[in-house]
Each structure stands twice: as structure tokens, then as C-alpha cells.
Amino acid sequence: MADTLRFAVLGVGRIGSIHARNLAQRSGLHGGSEAQRSGVTLAYVSDPNAAAADAIAAELGAKAVGLDEAIGSSDVDAVVICTPTDTHAELAERAAAAGKAVFCEKPLDMDSARIRRLLENVAQAGTPLMIGFNRRFDPSFAALKRRLDSGEIGEVELVTVLSRDPAPPPLEYIKRSGGLFRDMMIHDFDMARFLLGEEPVSVYATASALVDPAIGAAGDVDTAVCVLRTASGRLAQISNSRRAAYGYDQRVEVHGASGMLAAGNRTATTVTAATAQGYATDPALHFFLERYAEAYRNEIDSFINALATGIAPSPSGMDGLRAQILADAATESARTGLAVALPAA
């Protein structure tokens, strides 16, 4: 690779714009440590919505180009795929075939078999592949994981993950989402694997449409719990809801042999009011881009760092596949009422 890493961002919607801006901030013009700023260039952005691509290109000093050019150009080292889900696998394969490193937003595909094929193709191409499970890079969840790995609470016994969105997405989105387990709980499956330190061998899930009957009518659920079990008997419980009046609620709690590590939410301010009604603090931050702003920055830095050092990026494509397999199993379990056994990894 050249002495600067040149990036192309494919898709500049909500997430793509964030990655593009974070890359530009790392590009030597503004902020960041010396190390982070050295040698990163946001070269291209690409989006079928030409106006959006032009605007962000102008803002960030990049060039808006077509997909073929973004992927194929010889002066691109890495592509960041933020396009609609059904294009992820093909674009990742094309980029890998062109020798580019790939960062791909989750999920790699809705179909596990397709993901397996993709992973084989990328492996053949020999290029790095990272999957966008941003929550691993949240400062609190990342610190919790480091402390877990340092042995602070001994061997993991029980992992509890809670995720609640402030409000359901549009019904149209839900209909094409693959269902709550694949669309929303997939993040929590990754988090549970991240924290369990072992692969689940059994999955049980049950779920309801309590928030909005229209979600149930559309064949999906909005309130769900899932239990995972690993070969050595470690347990995880996950709960999800499409509703949380008090903000975007994302918490994990890990119990080990000698204690507990827990991490939770941020509020906009530290203000406490005390009145006749009691003590009151702010709600949790409401929007996932706000909640995970720092995580997105750390995530792309981690990808840059992996490319710069030649270390395999993490979470990997295989992490993407395994979370998808858990989501598939949970979907089936919730449908049949039966726990689903998975082969030991």
C-alpha cells in the first residue's frame, strides 16, 4: 500500500456520512493525534443519489464518483460499504477481488449461506474484512471488555444484554428488515459473543408484538428475550424492545466468579434536580448516532489501525456470520417454541 491509506465510502446516507466525516477528520486536516492523522485520505464517495454524494464530497474535499470507479480505482486502498443490505455481499466481493480492504456495515447479508460464500471469496482474495459492529467500540463497553479480559471478575458466568430503541422504525422498514432478531438483536448477539468468550451452542427465544399490533400484523415482533448457552455452561440473556420512553437504552452486565462489571447509558448533562417529588436526572441520550458517536470514531480508527499495522481487523467477517447464525436460530426458536442447538465452534 501507499504511504497514505486512501478510502472510498460507498453509500453516504446516515451511516455513510458519519464514516466519511470521521475519515476526513483523520485525513490530516483537522484534529486527532499525529498517529491518527498521518496517512489517511478520503479519496472518493459514491452514492446513487448524486446530489448527496456531491454535497458530502464538497464538504470533505473528496471526489464523488460511480461505484465502479470507487471500487476499481488503483488509488483506493480500502472501501467502506454503507449501501443497502442487499448490495453488501456483492460489493464486498467486488472490492476484495479488486484487492481492496473492506469495511462493511452489518449485516453482510440476510442469508447465512450467502455470507459463507462471501467469506470464502474474500478469503481467496486475501484482503482484510471488518464488519461494522460499532458497539464493541463504545468506550464503556470496550473498557468493560478489557477489564473482563484482564481477569478483574474471574471467569464469566452470566452475561445480560439489554437494548431498547426509543421508538419503532417505520413499518415499511420493519417489513424489509428480516425481523427484530436479524435487524436489532443481531448487535446484542455480537455483544453477547464478545463478552461470553465462548460460542453459544443453544439458543432459545420468545417474542411478542406489544408495542404496535401493526408490527405483529406485518409478521414481526417488537419485544423479545433470548437465552444463549455455551458448551461449558456459560449463560447469556438478551432483551430487546422497540420502545423506551426514556431514551436509547443500551446496557450490559457481566457476572463472573469474583464480581460484576456493568456499563450503561450517557445523559446529555449531569444535572440533578431535587424537588418535593424527589431527585431527577436527564433521560438517556435519545438517538443512536449521538449515543454511539464516539464508538463510530473509535471503530473507523480501529480499521485504519488494522490496515496500517497489518493486523487482521476485528470484528471479522466470521463475527458477522456467527451473529447472523444466532439471529437465524433465535428467529426459528421464537417461531417454533423450541430451543435451537448449534454445533460447537
Near a second copy in 223-242, by CB under 8 A: 223-225, 227, 229, 232-235, 237, 239, 241
Closer Cβ to a second copy, 123 or 341, answer by number = 341
Pick the closest to residue 25 from 43, 12, 40 (CA basis).
40
Rounded Cα distance between 26 and 297, Å, is 9
Does 255 help bind a second copy (rule: CB under 8 A)?
Answer: yes
Total number of residues binding a second copy (CB under 8 A)?
A: 80
DSSP per-residue codes, 238-298? EEEES--TTS-EEEEEEEETTEEEEE---BS---EEEETTEEEEPPBP--HHHHTHHHHHH
What is the H or E stretch that residue 156 is in? strand 156-164
Q: How far is the CB of 326 from a second copy (least distance, A)?
A: 15
Q: What type of residue sits at position 105?
A: E
Closer Cβ to a second copy, 164 or 182, answer by number = 164
What is the H or E stretch that residue 217 is in? helix 213-217
Closer Cβ to a second copy, 103 or 204, answer by number = 204
Per-position x/- string for 138-157, each x denoting binding to a second copy as judged by CB under 8 A, each - no binding:
-xx--xx--x----xx-x-x
The correct pick among 30, 149, 150, 343 for binding a second copy (CB under 8 A) is 30
Considering only residues 41 to 70 of the shown chain, the ones binding a second copy according to CB under 8 A are: 59-61
Mapping DSSP to helix (H, G, I), strand (E, B) and coil, where does residue 118 land? Answer: helix
Per-position x/- string for 79-118, each x denoting binding to a second copy as judged by CB under 8 A, each - no binding:
----------------------------------------
Does 4 help bind a second copy (rule: CB under 8 A)?
Answer: no
Considering only residues 281 to 310 of the shown chain, the ones binding a second copy according to CB under 8 A are: 281-284
The correct pick among 24, 57, 91, 118 for binding a second copy (CB under 8 A) is 24
Q: How far is the CB of 210 from a second copy (least distance, A)?
A: 5
Name the β-bridge partners of 42.
7
Instruction: Tell me how far the alpha carbon of residue 133 is from its chain's centroid.
Output: 2
Q: How far is the CB of 271 from a second copy (least distance, A)?
A: 5
Q: How far is the CB of 329 from a second copy (least distance, A)?
A: 14
Applying CB under 8 A, the span of 101-109, 116-124, 255-263, 321-329 interacting with a second copy comes to: 255-263
The correct pick among 275, 309, 310, 343 for binding a second copy (CB under 8 A) is 275
Residue 213 and residue 160 in contact, taking contact as beta carbons nearer than 8 Å: no
What is residue 94's DSSP assignment?
A: H
Rounded Cα distance between 88 and 83, Å, is 7
What's the Cα-to-Cα distance from 99 to each of 76, 78, 337, rounded to whole Å? 9, 9, 45
